């Protein structure tokens, strides 16, 4: 059973200390997750609307927000996000909804990203295969890697991240060599101006879902200090290196269309950049989606699904939907769903560090590498706070909505905790198969 838990990446239990990884390898994965095509696009958007100095400050503020959220959410409990939610304010029912939200949202983005890469492959080799066929090949390739779990994704990161960096460095250097760098640093933006606050909101909002599910990655860290190190290194490099490159390219080309900038200036290499950049974020979309749905099915139906098998099924479904173009119609729905994520982090952080209503159960089982034997069935106050904060994040448009809803959920949960309203209704036992698996793993370790 210990071997089974290893292959399954401990989807329903703690990652034992013997399976933890060095922080630098995880930082490479974090950098790969941040430094995707979307980050290039974000940098170009900022550069098209802001001076270089203002864009730098926007990226700095946005990065600090993300790193603070990631470091607090990614505490060293060895539990994935959906599983951790059971003992950080949500209870079994709330945690199942968290898992479902993660599963649906990220498999949708997995399919959409597969479609984007398929269009790039078609542009790279026109006429070789139709776009839908490229979408299938790309989606299945990512699915095969993710089926091997964290180890397979580390292998992918070790290849794609250095390649992405080399190609980006070459393409940016080649394009910028035609311009006076000093003039670009001082030049005015070509588009309608944007404030630093608005820019910081784009930076933080663009990766906020990744920040909320950071526990799926940091559960493999050895210590809380390692969580901080891999987060600061991975996020800072991803945001500043790729983001500022996009800013400079936007100033050089006087355009916000980064894909057109890259592909028109460096052709083949530009398309490979698009593909490698998308590849490295898409594996995490699928991985976290599978963890979310495994936990949803476990808590809702009492069925212990195998993560690798679930990954294959989800990957095939997402790939098929992407290849026929269905998922493009759901972008608005996925964007709407994303407003539910920031309050999840706010509630989890408030419970774990301040209210601590259910924290003792985690503390009592951490050293033995086990799960608490029980969890609250449902916490009504949490569900109400989650809904209220999500609504505020959706309807309030000033400031940084994602950060506002996160902070609001924290404040409301702390108030509810002080008033004694954070109470579990009913008791849910941790499945015996999960506790047995954890005990066997801990014993083997």
Instruction: Please indicate, yes or no, if residue 118 is contained in any of the structural domains.
Output: yes
- Structural domain total, the chain: 1
**pLDDT higher than threshold 70 for residue 260:** no
**pLDDT higher than threshold 80 for residue 1:** no
Mean pLDDT of 121-139: 84
Mean pLDDT of 189-214: 85
Confidence (pLDDT) at 433: 47
**pLDDT higher than threshold 50 for residue 112:** yes
Instruction: Please indicate, yes or no, if residue 385 is contained in any of the structural domains.
Output: no
Confidence (pLDDT) at 4: 47
**pLDDT higher than threshold 60 for residue 402:** yes
Instruction: Please indicate, yes or no, if residue 227 is contained in any of the structural domains.
Output: yes
Confidence (pLDDT) at 344: 94
Instruction: Please indicate, yes or no, if residue 55 is contained in any of the structural domains.
Output: yes
Please name the residues in contact with 102: beta carbons below 8 A apart, sequence gap of 6 or more. 81, 82, 213, 288, 289, 291, 292, 293
Q: What is the pLDDT of residues 18-49, one digit of tens each?
A: 999 999 999 988 888 887 667 777 888 898 89
Which residue range(s) make up the domain with 301?
21-347
Which CATH number characterizes residue 159's domain?
1.10.4160.10
Pick the more confident residue, 271 or 245.
245
Confidence (pLDDT) at 295: 92
Instruction: Please indicate, yes or no, if residue 97 is contained in any of the structural domains.
Output: yes
- What separation in angstroms does the CA of 44 have from each of 54, 203, 248, 290, 293? 13, 12, 8, 32, 35
Pick the more confident residue, 48 or 432.
48
Confidence (pLDDT) at 388: 96
Instruction: Please indicate, yes or no, if residue 25 is contained in any of the structural domains.
Output: yes
pLDDT band at 384 (very low <50, low <70, confident <90, very high): very high
Pick the more confident residue, 269 or 34.
34
From 91-95, 123-127, 424-428, the region with the lowest mean pLDDT: 123-127
**pLDDT higher than threshold 50 for residue 442:** no
- What separation in angstroms does the CA of 364 have from each of 83, 358, 370, 438? 17, 11, 9, 15
pLDDT band at 265 (very low <50, low <70, confident <90, very high): low
> What is the C-alpha separation between 391 and 383, in angstroms, rounded?
12
pLDDT band at 266 (very low <50, low <70, confident <90, very high): low
Confidence (pLDDT) at 331: 67
Mean residue pLDDT of the chain comes to 85
Q: What is the pLDDT of residues 210-258, one digit of tens each?
A: 888 899 999 999 999 999 999 999 988 888 888 888 888 888 877 766 6
Instruction: Please indicate, yes or no, if residue 276 is contained in any of the structural domains.
Output: yes
> What is the C-alpha separation between 216 and 288, in angstroms, rounded?
7
Confidence (pLDDT) at 116: 76
Instruction: Please indicate, yes or no, if residue 177 is contained in any of the structural domains.
Output: yes
User: Are 290 and 98 in contact, with CB atoms under 8 Å apart?
Assistant: no
**pLDDT higher than threshold 90 for residue 5:** no
Mean pLDDT of 301-306: 87
């Amino acid at each position: 059973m210990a071997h089974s838990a290893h292959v399954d990446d401990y989807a329903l239990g703690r990652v034992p200390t013997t399976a933890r990884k060095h922080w630098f390898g995880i930082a490479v994965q974090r950098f790969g997750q941040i430094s995707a095509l979307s980050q290039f696009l974000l940098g170009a958007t900022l550069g098209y609307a802001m001076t270089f100095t203002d864009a730098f400050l926007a990226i700095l503020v946005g990065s600090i927000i993300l790193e603070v959220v990631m470091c607090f959410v990614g505490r060293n409990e060895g539990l994935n996000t959906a599983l951790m939610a059971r003992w950080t304010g949500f209870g079994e029912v709330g945690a199942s909804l968290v898992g479902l939200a993660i599963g649906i949202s990220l498999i949708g983005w997995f399919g959409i990203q597969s479609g984007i890469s398929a269009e790039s492959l078609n542009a790279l080799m026109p006429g070789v295969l139709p776009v839908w066929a490229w979408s299938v090949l790309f989606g299945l390739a990512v699915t095969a890697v993710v089926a091997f779990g964290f180890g397979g994704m580390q292998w992918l990161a070790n290849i794609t991240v250095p390649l992405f960096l080399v190609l980006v460095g070459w393409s940016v250097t080649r394009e910028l060599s035609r311009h006076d760098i000093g003039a670009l640093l001082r030049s005015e933006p070509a588009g309608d101006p944007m404030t630093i606050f608005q820019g910081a909101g784009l930076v933080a909002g663009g990766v906020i879902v990744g920040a909320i599910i950071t526990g799926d990655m940091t559960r493999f860290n050895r210590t809380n200090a390692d969580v901080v190190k891999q987060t600061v290194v991975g996020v800072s490099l991803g945001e500043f290196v790729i983001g500022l490159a996009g800013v400079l390219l936007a100033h050089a080309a006087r355009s916000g269309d980064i894909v057109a900038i890259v592909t028109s200036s460096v052709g083949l290499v530009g398309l490979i950049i698009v593909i490698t950049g998308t590849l490295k974020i898409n594996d995490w979309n699928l991985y976290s989606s599978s963890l979310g749905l495994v936990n949803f099915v476990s808590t809702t139906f009492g069925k212990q699904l195998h993560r690798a098998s679930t990954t294959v099924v989800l990957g095939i479904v997402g790939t098929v939907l992407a290849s026929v173009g269905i998922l493009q119609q759901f972008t608005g729905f996925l964007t709407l769903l994303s407003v539910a994520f920031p309050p999840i982090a706010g509630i989890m952080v408030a419970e774990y560090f301040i209210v601590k209503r259910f924290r003792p159960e985690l503390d009592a089982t951490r050293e033995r590498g086990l799960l608490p034997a029980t969890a609250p069935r449902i916490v009504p106050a949490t569900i109400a706070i989650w809904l209220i904060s999500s609504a505020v994040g959706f309807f309030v448009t000033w400031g940084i909505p994602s950060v506002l809803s996160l902070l609001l959920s924290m404040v409301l949960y702390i108030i509810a905790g002080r008033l004694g309203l954070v109470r579990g209704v009913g008791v849910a036992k941790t499945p015996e198969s999960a506790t047995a698996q954890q005990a066997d793993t801990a014993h083997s370790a």
